[in-house]
Amino acid sequence: MCGIVGYIGSHQAAPVILEGLSKLEYRGYDSAGMAVFDGKKIGICKSVGRLKVLEELTHGGATMPGTVGIGHTRWATHGAPSNQNAHPHYNQEETIAVVHNGIIENYLPLREKLVSKGYQFVSDTDTEVVAHLIDYYYKGNPLEAITKVMNRVQGSYALGILFAEHPDQIFAVRKDSPLIVGQNEDGCFIASDVPAILKYTRKVYFIENQEVVRLRADHMHFYTVDEEEITKEPVTIDWDANAAEKGGYEHFMLKEMYEQPKTVTDTLMPRIKGNDIVIEELGMGDEEIKAIRKIFIVACGSAYHAGMTAKYVIEGIARIPVEVDVASEFRYRNPILEEGTMVVVISQSGETADSLAALRESQKLGHKVLGIVNVVGSSIAREADNVMYTWAGPEIAVATTKAYSAQLIALYLLAMKFAKVRGMLKEGEFRSMLGDLKRLPGQIERLLANKQRIQRFANRYIGAKDVFFIGRGIDFAISMEGSLKLKEISYIHSEAYAAGELKHGTISLIEEGTLVAAVATQDALFQKTLSNMVEVKARGAFVLAVTNEGNTDIEKAADYCIYIPRTNPYFTNSLAIIPLQLFGYYVAVGKGCDVDKPRNLAKSVTVE
List of residues 6+ apart from 30 with CB closer than 8 A: 48, 49, 74, 75, 76, 81
8 Å CB contact between 48 and 81 = yes
8 Å CB contact between 202 and 236 = yes
List of residues 6+ apart from 132 with CB closer than 8 A: 91, 92, 114, 119, 121
List of residues 6+ apart from 195 with CB closer than 8 A: 23, 24, 244, 394, 396
DSSP state for residue 301 in the 8-state scheme: H
Q: What is the DSSP string of 233-247?
A: --EE----GGGGS-T
- Alpha carbon 429 to chain centroid distance? 35
- HSE of 424, CA atoms in CB hemisphere, 13 A: 17
Give the long-range contacts of residues 222-228, CB within 8 A, separation 24 or more: 223/143, 223/147, 225/147, 225/150, 225/151, 226/147, 227/143, 227/144, 227/147
Give, in order, the Cα–Cα distances in Å from 588 to each of 218, 251, 596: 46, 12, 10
Residue 318: count other Cβ atoms within 10 Å of its Cβ: 22
- Short-list 224, 220, 178, 226, CA closest to 203: 220
Give the type of residue at 570. Answer: Y
- Alpha carbon 199 to chain centroid distance? 22
Instruction: Let me know how long the chain is.
Output: 608
- Short-list 483, 489, 479, 449, CA closest to 258: 449
List of residues 6+ apart from 135 with CB closer than 8 A: 91, 92, 93, 95, 96, 119
Strand partners of residue 95: none
Q: What is the helix, strand, coil percentage profile of the chain, to 5? A: 40, 25, 35
Residue 456: count other Cβ atoms within 10 Å of its Cβ: 10
597 part of the active site = no
CA distance 304 to 325: 7
Q: What is the DSSP string of 492-507?
A: -EEEEEEGGGGGGTGG
- Alpha carbon 424 to chain centroid distance? 34
8 Å CB contact between 444 and 263 = no
Catalytic residue among 175, 417, 451, 603: 603
593 part of the active site = no
Residue 93: count other Cβ atoms within 10 Å of its Cβ: 8
**H helix intervals, 13-124:** 13-22, 51-57, 107-116
Using a 10 angstrom Cβ sphere, with 0-12 exposed, 13-18 middle and 19 or more buried, the burial of residue 589 is: buried
Give, in order, the Cα–Cα distances in Å from 320 to each of 312, 563, 601: 10, 32, 35
Catalytic residue among 2, 45, 188, 593: 2
CA distance 25 to 1: 9
* Active site residue ranges: 2, 603
